[in-house]
Structure 1
Amino acid sequence: MAANILSQYSGFQHDPNAPILEEFQRLAALRGWKAGSKRYKTTLRTCLQAESRELFRSDGRLDALQQLCRDVGVHPTPETITSCRKALQNVNVNIIDLIDSRRCGSAVETFRTRVALRNYSKMQGKIYPKQWAKSDDAIRNLLIRMW
Structure 2
Amino acid sequence: MTGRGVNPYWYKFPGFTPNPNVGISTEFRRLAKFMGWEGYKRDEEKIEAYGSEIEFHWGRDDHNKLTGLKDICNELGVAGNLTTITQMVKALKAHHINVVNLINHRRNPNLPIIRFPTRKAFVKYTGKPGNTCPKEAAKRVAWVKVLLEVLER
Shift of 1:76: 4.3
Structure 1: distance between partners of 2:136 and 2:49: 15
Shift of 1:80: 4.4
Distance 1:17 1:76, change over 3 A: farther
CA RMSD after TM alignment: 2.6
Q: Which residue is equivalent to 1:138?
A: 143
Distance 1:103 1:76, change over 3 A: farther
Are the aligned partners of 2:69 and 2:88 in contact in 1 as well (CA < 8 Å)? Answer: yes
Q: Which residue is equivalent to 1:85?
A: 89
Distance 1:30 1:131, change over 3 A: closer
What percentage of aligned pairs have identical amino acids?
Answer: 28
TM-score under structure 2 length normalisation: 0.77
Is the counterpart of residue 128 in structure 1 residue 130 in structure 2?
A: no
The one-letter code of the counterpart of 1:74 is: V
Shift of 1:134: 4.8
Is the counterpart of residue 52 in structure 1 residue 75 in structure 2?
A: no
Give the secondary structure class of the aligned counterpart of 2:42.
Answer: helix
Distance 1:134 1:5, change over 3 A: closer
Greater shift in the superposed pair: 64-73 or 102-111: 64-73
Are the aligned partners of 1:92 and 1:142 in contact in 2 as well (CA < 8 Å)? Answer: no
In the alignment of these two chains, the number of paired residues is 144
Structure 1 stretches lacking a partner, 5+ long: none
Is the counterpart of residue 32 in structure 1 residue 36 in structure 2?
A: yes
Q: What is the CA deviation profile of residues 89-143 of structure 1, one whole-angstrom value per residue up to 9, with x for unaligned ones?
A: 3121110111111111143101122221111111233211234435533221343
Give the secondary structure class of the aligned counterpart of 1:124.
Answer: coil
The one-letter code of the counterpart of 1:39 is: K
Q: Give the number of the structure with larger relative contact order, counting CA–CA contacts within 8 Å between residues 6 or more apart.
A: 2
TM-score under structure 1 length normalisation: 0.79
Q: Which residue is equivalent to 2:70?
A: 66
